[in-house]
Structure 1
Amino acid sequence: MTSKPPLHVVVLMGGWANEREVSLMSGAGVADALEMNGHRVTSIDMGRDVAQRLAEAKPDVVFNALHGVPGEDGSVQGMLDLMGIAYTHSGLATSVIAIDKQLTKQALVPNGIPMPGGRIVRSEELFERDPLPRPYVLKPVNEGSSVGVAIITDDSNVGNPIARDAAGPWQQFGELLAEPFIKGRELTAAVIDSANGPRALGVTELIIDQGFYDYEHKYTEGRTQHVCPAQIPPEITALCEEYALKAHVVLGCHGTSRTDFRWDDEAGEAGLFVLETNTQPGMTPLSLVPEQARHAGIGYAELVELIVMEAIRVHKFDGGAHGSDQA
Structure 2
Amino acid sequence: MKRVSVLMGGPSAEREVSLNSGANCAAALKEAGYKVATIDVTRDVPALIKAIKAQKPDVIFNALHGRWGEDGNIQGILNFIGIPYTHSGLMASAIAMDKPMAKRLFADVGLRCPKGVLLHKSQVLKGDPLPRPYVVKPANEGSSVGVQIIKQSDNARPFDGIEWPYGEYVLAEEFIQGREFTVGVMGDRAMTVTELKPDTGFYDYAHKYTSGLTVHLCPAPLREDIAAEAMRTALVAHQTLGCRGVTRCDFRYDDSNGDDINKLYLLEINTQPGMTALSLVPEQAKHLGISYPELVSWMVEHAACDA
How far, CA to CA, are the matches of 1:164 and 1:281 in structure 2?
30
How far, CA to CA, are the matches of 2:85 and 2:166 in structure 1?
31
Match of residue 51 from structure 1: 49
Map residues 1-327 of structure 1 onto 2, 5 A cutoff: 6-47=1-42, 48=44, 49-159=47-157, 164-165=160-161, 167=162, 169=164, 172-193=166-187, 198-265=188-255, 266=257, 268-311=260-303, 315=304, 321-322=305-306
- Kept in 1, the 8 Å contact 2:78–2:84? The answer is yes
The alignment's TM-score, normalised by the length of structure 1, stands at 0.90
Q: Which 4+ residue blocks in structure 1 deviate beyond 6 angstroms? A: none
Amino acid at match of 1:322: D
Aligned to 2:112, the other structure's residue is in SS state coil
Report the CA distance shift for 1:294/1:128 in structure 2 as closer, same or farther (over 3 A). Answer: same
Aligned to 1:86, the other structure's residue is in SS state coil
Report the CA distance shift for 1:155/1:140 in structure 2 as closer, same or farther (over 3 A). Answer: same
Report the CA distance shift for 1:163/1:254 in structure 2 as closer, same or farther (over 3 A). Answer: closer
Match of residue 318 from structure 1: none
Amino acid at match of 1:213: Y
Amino acid at match of 2:26: A
Q: Could you give the per-residue CA deviations for residues 205-252 of structure 1, whole angstroms, max 9, x where no partner exists?
A: 000111111000000001100000000111111001000111111111
The alignment's TM-score, normalised by the length of structure 2, stands at 0.95
- Kept in 2, the 8 Å contact 1:13–1:46? The answer is yes
Q: Which has the larger displacement, 107-116 or 276-285?
A: 107-116
% of aligned pairs identical? 50
How far, CA to CA, are the matches of 1:88 and 1:172 in structure 2?
26
How far, CA to CA, are the matches of 2:288 and 2:111 in structure 1?
25
- Kept in 2, the 8 Å contact 1:148–1:168? The answer is no
Aligned to 2:33, the other structure's residue is in SS state coil
Amino acid at match of 1:186: E
- Kept in 2, the 8 Å contact 1:206–1:226? The answer is yes
What are structure 1's unaligned runs of at least 5 residues? 1-5, 316-320
- Kept in 2, the 8 Å contact 1:90–1:322? The answer is no
Aligned-residue RMSD, C-alpha: 1.3
- Kept in 2, the 8 Å contact 1:150–1:168? The answer is no
Q: Could you give the per-residue CA deviations for residues 107-162 of structure 1, whole angstroms, max 9, x where no partner exists?
A: 11111111111111111112211111111000000100000001111222415xx5
How far, CA to CA, are the matches of 1:163 and 1:264 in structure 2?
26
What are structure 2's unaligned runs of at least 5 residues? none
Report the CA distance shift for 1:127/1:228 in structure 2 as closer, same or farther (over 3 A). Answer: same
Q: Could you give the per-residue CA deviations for residues 75-103 of structure 1, whole angstroms, max 9, x where no partner exists?
A: 00000000011100000000010011111
How far, CA to CA, are the matches of 1:39 and 1:138 in structure 2?
42
How far, CA to CA, are the matches of 1:11 and 1:128 in structure 2?
45
- Kept in 1, the 8 Å contact 2:234–2:249? The answer is yes
Aligned to 2:302, the other structure's residue is in SS state helix
How far, CA to CA, are the matches of 1:94 and 1:163 in structure 2?
30
Aligned to 2:231, the other structure's residue is in SS state helix
Q: Could you give the per-residue CA deviations for residues 154-184 of structure 1, whole angstroms, max 9, x where no partner exists?
A: 222415xx5842x364x65321000000000
* Number of residue pairs aligned between Structure 1 and Structure 2: 302
